[in-house]
Amino acid sequence: MWGVSESIAAGAALPECLEEALRSLRGALEKLAAAAERHARAESLRTNHEEELAIMQDDRARLGVELDGAAARVKALELANDEVQRRLDHAGAEIKAILAGFEAGDGG
C-alpha cells in the first residue's frame, strides 16, 4: 500500500489517469448508447415485419376463402351449363322429330 509521500507524488499523475478513465468510460457509454439505438431500431423493424406478416397471413386466409367460393361457383356454373346443354340437345331432338313427322306427312 502507498504511503503519504507516495500518494502526493502520484497525485500529479492521478488526474491524468482519471481523465483517461473518464474518456474510456465516455467512449464505452457512447458505444452502449449507439448499440441500444441500433437495437431499438432493429426491434422496431422486427415489430413492423411481424405486423406486416400478420396482415399478409390475414390476406392469405381471406383470399383462400374467396378462392374456395369462386371455385364452388365455377363448379356450379359448369353443372348448370351441362344441364342446359342436355336440355338443348333434348329440345333439338324433339324439334327434329316433329319436323320429320311433318315432312313424312307432306310427302305421303
Using CA atoms of 82, 84, 85, 91 in order, give the dihedral in degrees to the nearest 10. 150
Phi, psi values for residue 12, rounded to 5°: -70, -35
pLDDT at 91: 97
Which DSSP state fits 12? T
Phi, psi values for residue 35, rounded to 5°: -65, -40
**Domain extent at residue 101:** 4-107
Number of domains in the chain: 1
pLDDT in tens, 52-64: 999 999 999 999 9
pLDDT in tens, 62-78: 999 999 999 999 999 99
